[in-house]
Amino acid sequence: MHTLFVSHPDCATHDTGPGHPESARRLQALSAALDQAQPALQGRVTRVDARHASEDELELVHSRGHLEKVQAAVRAAAHSQGLLHLDPDTVVSPGSWQAALAACGTVLTAVEALLDGSARNAFCAARPPGHHATRDRAMGFCLFNNVAVAARHAQQRGLQRVLIVDWDVHHGNGTEAIFYADPDVYYLSMHQSPHYPGTGQRGRRGHDQGEGRNLNLPVPPGLPAERYISQLLSGLELALSDFGPDIVFVSSGFDAALGDPLAGLTLTPADYHRLTRHVMEVAASQCENRVVSVLEGGYALELLSGCALAHIRALADLDLC
């Protein structure tokens, strides 16, 4: 079966303004890289157009009040024919509501394809990104938590246990908070520390019934790639020691790449390819190969496209070169 590349044109309608690192050019760079690589990917990677998420689906994770705050901000931006800042980093434009529904929809579409048996795994080219968004708050470039909504959707479709591997360079504070007391969702985050948003301490292991279902692996800037990989694989082994997932989501930021302007880690495309292979081995042994990878960060366009393409090649069971 194919690997899906899931996208929606409305993701490009979220305008963050000139100079903002999280721009529609990120998706353009990914699409161009995929086009250029298409001869090698022929028959292995299939582009799919996503649907929009519904408001009811967003409310699997987010409060009605949060939806209304984002809607009101988008209306205000449309009225002023400009941009509106929800915080110093997080912007909405007149097209942001449709973009946010499309971003969540890419991941829901991927989940449905895997569960319907029409795909092996998927990469979702989603923006705005999601892992900083909490139940009630947009932050860190994120409006809604795409992975969290899709995890709940997968559970509604009959899967119970969800593993989320977050290798974005920033800690996914929103994802952690949403599932912190949930025994059926294991959240594993590898992130640079100290760094935005200042969360993700190693000792935070979950609460109440979710005790032991949260694992933070904060690492210092400049950590050699080999040590990064070793620590992440050790974290995966620990997670799987008492947790068997039915599906694996990857919050796949590529901002841990060497040279990303918002971070200080050292990964290369080959490292992302290797990490993806390990995640696929987990999925093959645990959950019938079900992996849904979702774009989070990555802000140097050439690095983003190179690392993402290596990741997609691994999902498609292709060597790096």
Catalytic residues: 132
Say whether 285 sits in a helix, a strand or coil. helix
Q: How far apart are CA 318 and CA 2, in angstroms?
A: 12
Which of 80, 287, 38, 257 is closest to 163 using CA atoms?
Answer: 287
Would you state the structure tokens that stand for residue 105, as one six-digit string?
Answer: 């929809």
Q: Which residues fall within 8 angstroms of residue 269, CB to CB, at 6 or more apart?
A: 257, 306, 307, 309, 310, 320
Local structure of residue 162 (DSSP, 8 states): E
Q: How far apart are CA 154 and CA 161, in angstroms?
A: 9
Q: b or e along 129-160 (b: 16 or more beta carbons within 10 Å of the residue's beta carbon)?
A: bbbbbbeebbbbbbbbbbbbbbbbbbbeeebe
Which of 168, 173, 16 is closest to 87 using CA atoms?
Answer: 16
